[in-house]
Structure 1
């Protein structure tokens, strides 16, 4: 590895987690009812909170 090169795993870990949470939320909302709706809201809401937190830090 070159001296200035960084590993790509830390760079893509958080976006991968957000993508997985989004998929869980979307699939849970489509196929489930009751508790699955709650999981869907929490999973999709966590993505929105992450986006808001990221934008807040930049402002």
Structure 2
């Protein structure tokens, strides 16, 4: 019997990436100072996720 994943488990990581990148975009557009650091972190998350996925796929 195949193990089926729930919708919550399937979409948890993509939803977290979407939320973090949205926070990064909004913080980049709304201010300077600490918001610049927050935007760098938020917008780096999708880049690192893609790099991680490529690394996992190749090994």
Shift of 1:5: 3.9
Shift of 1:4: 5.2
Moved over 2 A (4+): 3-6
Structure-2 change in CA distance of 1:4 and 1:56 (3 Å): closer
Q: Deviations over 1:12-56 (max 9, x none)?
A: 000000000010000000001011011000111122111100111
Uncovered stretches (5+) of structure 2, i.e. residues with no partner: none
Q: Does 1:33 align with 2:32?
A: yes
TM-score, normalised via structure 1 length: 0.86
**CA RMSD after TM alignment:** 1.4
For structure 1, the residue ranges without an aligned partner over 5 or more in a row are: none
Q: How many residues align?
A: 57
TM-score of the two chains, using structure 2 as the length reference = 0.86
2:51 maps to which residue? 52
